[in-house]
Amino acid sequence: MTEDQKNAIINSGKEYFRQIIIPNHIKNLERLKLSKFNINPFLVNYLAAFLCGNTEPESLAKALIYPRILATSLSTSFGQNIQTFISSLEEITGCASGIEGIDIEFIDAIDHRHKYCQCKAGPQTINKDDIATILGHFKYLMNKSRLDKMGLQFDDLVVGVLYGESEELSANYKVIDSHYPVLCGADFWEHLTGDKNFYYRLSKAFGEVVEEDDIDGSLMIEKKVKEIAAEIIEKGGL
């Protein structure tokens, strides 16, 4: 893959965060109200004291907001919208596939064979039912290869997991990996681009979007903490 293509993927990833991930993240933060939380009063008071050293309303609000806005909602948004980023990969690499169940096709930078790849977001993002679906698509392509004399090998059909480590792959992925390779995180990006550092370049670029667009998330979070704290005071505590 050329350096221009690699830079195009990075820029596309930034735009994906700029246009989809960040606006959804901010929207989820702005929508938060005390009634949106399923509160365990024992845990939230403990977590507030552990985090801030006290159980004042603002500390309780932080114990509620931080896990939601820094983890759960963001991970959900990324997973739900990942097909948008995958579509940009198809366009940039010129390797969109017209085969059902295959997202992209590319020449592997490691073994130089033509790969048929289904892309997934992260190492925990498929369920048990997905196993049969993925294996079914790959089996169909292998059978077609025999009929059409395409010369496919089993390791020409791969699942590309966009982030994570191989050790983090769920049991569902491991079932697939016993039949066809599952390339995870840095491994996937190296096979696609030929650059062993590309995964880290890409992940760093996503963080740069916040700096480039001068977004101060800390002010937004602090404002929401005060709003939730006011609700806790009005309610009389948790």
Instruction: Identify the CA nearest to 110 among candidates 186, 33, 218, 15.
Output: 186
Per-residue b or e along 31-55, where b marks 16 or more CB atoms closer than 10 Å to that residue's CB: ebebeebebeeeebbebbeeeeeeb
Cα distance between residue 185 and residue 179, in whole Å: 19
Secondary structure (DSSP) of 34-102:
GGGS---HHHHHHHHHHHHSS--HHHHHHHHHHHIIIIIHHHHHHHHTHHHHHHHHHHHHT-B--STT-
Q: What is the pLDDT of residues 117-159, one digit of tens each?
A: 999 989 998 999 999 999 999 999 999 888 888 888 999 999 9
Has residue 79 got a pLDDT over 80?
A: no
pLDDT band at 100 (very low <50, low <70, confident <90, very high): confident
Has residue 29 got a pLDDT over 70?
A: yes
Residue 112 Ramachandran class (φ > 0 left, ψ -120 to 50 alpha, else beta): left
pLDDT band at 94 (very low <50, low <70, confident <90, very high): low
Compute the residue count for the chain: 238
Going 37 to 38 to 40 to 46, the CA torsion angle's sign is negative
Asked whether 30 and 65 are in contact (CB, 8 A), the reply is no
Strand partners, 158: 117
Strand partners, 106: 115
Q: Where is pLDDT greater, at 208 or 74?
A: 208
Q: What is the pLDDT of residues 180-196, one digit of tens each?
A: 999 999 999 999 999 99
State the Rg of the chain over Cα. Answer: 22
Cα distance between residue 149 and residue 123, in whole Å: 33
Has residue 167 got a pLDDT over 80?
A: yes
- The region of weakest confidence among 69-73, 95-99, 173-177 is 95-99
pLDDT given at position 31 = 93
Strand partners, 2: none
- Cβ count within 10 A of residue 123: 21
Cα distance between residue 181 and residue 157, in whole Å: 7
Decide: residue 224, CB within 10 A, 0-12 exposed, 13-18 middle, 19+ buried.
buried
Instruction: Identify the CA nearest to 108 among candidates 50, 170, 189, 38.
Output: 189
pLDDT given at position 33 = 95
pLDDT given at position 206 = 87
